[in-house]
Every structure is written in structure tokens, then in C-alpha cells.
Amino acid sequence: DAGVIQSPRHEVTEMGQEVTLRCKPISGHNSLFWYRQTMMRGLELLIYFNNNVPIDDSGMPEDRFSAKMPNASFSTLKIQPSEPRDSAVYFCASRRGTGTYEQYFGPGTRLTVT
Amino acid sequence: TQLLEQSPQFLSIQEGENLTVYCNSSSVFSSLQWYRQEPGEGPVLLVTVVTGGEVKKLKRLTFQFGDARKDSSLHITAAQPGDTGLYLCAGAKSGAGSYQLTFGKGTKLSVIP
């Protein structure tokens, strides 16, 4: 069975450019999470979707960040404009149902903003 | 404020040694999970503990949830190079916001052959 799929795996961009990260959750999972991981702050939850609806976006750093989930099999995280401090590894995770806490992570996108 | 403190932050040991890493909090969690993350990959779930005092074993790994459900430990017996990685604990709370996992910063383990 395919796990969570993320693309691209690596992204290098210049400050001010728009960046779009993509995620395909595990089929049948109805919860999706976007996280950011840095050495300083560890894993931070950015936004949580349940049944394609954003439930909690309190972790989104600022208005430059936006996330969408147009259907059950696809989500995007967009940064516009990007800044060097956005450099991090961004993970997407999915979960089946709401009665379990087990989350399955994708391989991540390593973003470098120069 | 870091809700989950993991210690030690880094650990380097020889193959065959035993080790224990810790995950501590002042908050009570309804469940706690341990993940292992290898370089260039996402975290992979190892175990979920739910009941205070619960002990779970996964081959050479032993996980314990504290009686008060505020802390947890992971003990590895006879460590192998394949155990190398970042070990993350994550706590879940019941009620509103129960979907959310709070992650510690992790213990980076290196097992030297």
C-alpha cells in the first residue's frame, strides 16, 4: 500500500518567490496534518484538516502561509512570498478516523529559501 | 513553552550497550506515542501507550507510560546500528483539540558499530 506522498522532496527558491508543497494522503484517511520541522523548534503543527475542511490553522505562522484541501486525496501548502526563515522540512501526515491518534507521515519536503 | 521535554538531547553509544531515553511533561496526556525518524524520512510510529503504568515491548525496545500519564521512557537493550535515529515522543490530550499531538524535540541516538 502506498504511504503518504509528498512532492517535491527538495525545493530551493529565492526569497520572494511563491512555493507550493503537495501532499497525497493515504487512501481512506480522512484527517490530514501539515507540520514544519526545524532544529530549533522541533515538529510544529501548522494546520489540520478533517474531511477536507480546515479545523485548526492556529499554527500557520502568518498570512504568507495558506493551505487547501480540494478533495480527499490532495492537499497543498503555499508560501507567498517566501522568506529565508521559512527554510525547514515540511511534513504532511494523515490519519484514519478521529478515534485514533496514530498519524502516518510522508517523507517530507526540504525547503531552502535563499 | 516546551510541553514535552526529552532527554538526553543527543546520545552516542557503542553497539551492544543498553540505553534509556526520557520524555517528561507537567501536563497529563490521554495517550503518548513514540516515533523514530531516520535522516531524510518522516517519523514512523513505534508504539502508543494509553494506560498509566503501561509497559509495552517491541523486540529489544521497552516503552513505559508513567503512572500519572505525564512521562514516559524508552529503554533499548543491546543497541544495534539500525537503532540509530531521532526518537520523538508525542502526547495527545482528550477533549477539545484531541486530534493534536504535541511533540518533543527528540533524542538523537547514534549507535556505533
CA nearest to B97 within chain A: A56
Contact predicate B31/B49, CB 8 Å: yes
Contact predicate A90/A109, CB 8 Å: yes
Instruction: Report the pLDDT value the prediction gives residue A1, as an integer from 0 to 100.
Output: 63
Instruction: Report the pLDDT value the prediction gives residue A99, as an integer from 0 to 100.
Output: 64
Between β-strands B107-112 and B85-92, what pairing exists: parallel, antiparallel or unpaired? antiparallel
Q: What percent of chain A has pLDDT over 70?
A: 96
Q: State yes or no: pLDDT of B96 exceeds 80.
A: no
Between β-strands A109-113 and A10-13, what pairing exists: parallel, antiparallel or unpaired? parallel
Cβ contact, residue pair A105, B40, below 8 Å: no
Mean per-residue pLDDT, A92-102: 81
Instruction: Report the pLDDT value the prediction gives residue B3, as an integer from 0 to 100.
Output: 83
Main-chain dihedrals φ then ψ at residue B81, nearest 5 degrees: -55, -30
A window 57-86, beta carbon within 8 A of B: none
Main-chain dihedrals φ then ψ at residue B59, nearest 5 degrees: 55, -115
- Least confident window among A23-27, A37-41, B74-78: A37-41
CA nearest to A103 within chain B: B45
Instruction: Report the pLDDT value the prediction gives residue B104, as an integer from 0 to 100.
Output: 94
Cβ contact, residue pair A42, B48, below 8 Å: no
The grid coordinates of residue B101 equal 499531538
The partner residues of B91 in beta bridges, in order of sequence, read: B32, B102
B104 reaches A (C-beta below 8 A): yes
**pLDDT, tens digit, 9 for 90 and up, residues B19-34:** 999 999 998 988 899 9
